[in-house]
Structure 1
C-alpha cells in the first residue's frame, strides 16, 4: 500500500514536538495539496501502526 497525502479529517488536538528539519520536509510534501501538517502526521502514524501490527501478526 503506497502512502497517500490525506485530505483533512476530523481531529483532536495533541501537542507534540518535531525536529525542524522534519517539519520542513512535511511542509514541502503537502505544499499545494489539500492537506494539513496534522492530517499528514495522522496518516503517517496510521500507516506505521498498521505496519507494526502486520509485522506482529506475521511474527505469531
Structure 2
C-alpha cells in the first residue's frame, strides 16, 4: 500500500468543500510546523485513497 507523505504545495484549481470541524482540527495539527497547506494535505489524502481503491479492484 502507498504510504501517506505530507506534500509540498502543488499548482491547484479552487474548489469549495465542507469539512467537519473536528476533521479540520486534526488536519491542521498534522500539518503544523510543515510547509504543507490544508488543501495540499487533502489532495494527497485523496490521491492515496484513489490509489487504494484502484488496488482493491
Larger Rg: 1
Q: 1:40-51, aligned counterparts within 5 Å?
A: 40-51=41-52
- Answer 1 or 2: higher relative contact order, Cα 8 Å, separation at least 6: 2
**C-alpha deviation, 1:2, in angstroms:** 1.5
Distance 1:42 1:6 in 2: 9
The TM-score, its normalising length taken from structure 2, stands at 0.95
The TM-score, its normalising length taken from structure 1, stands at 0.90
Q: 1:1-60, aligned counterparts within 5 Å?
A: 1-56=2-57
Moved over 3 A (4+): none
Distance 1:5 1:45 in 2: 12
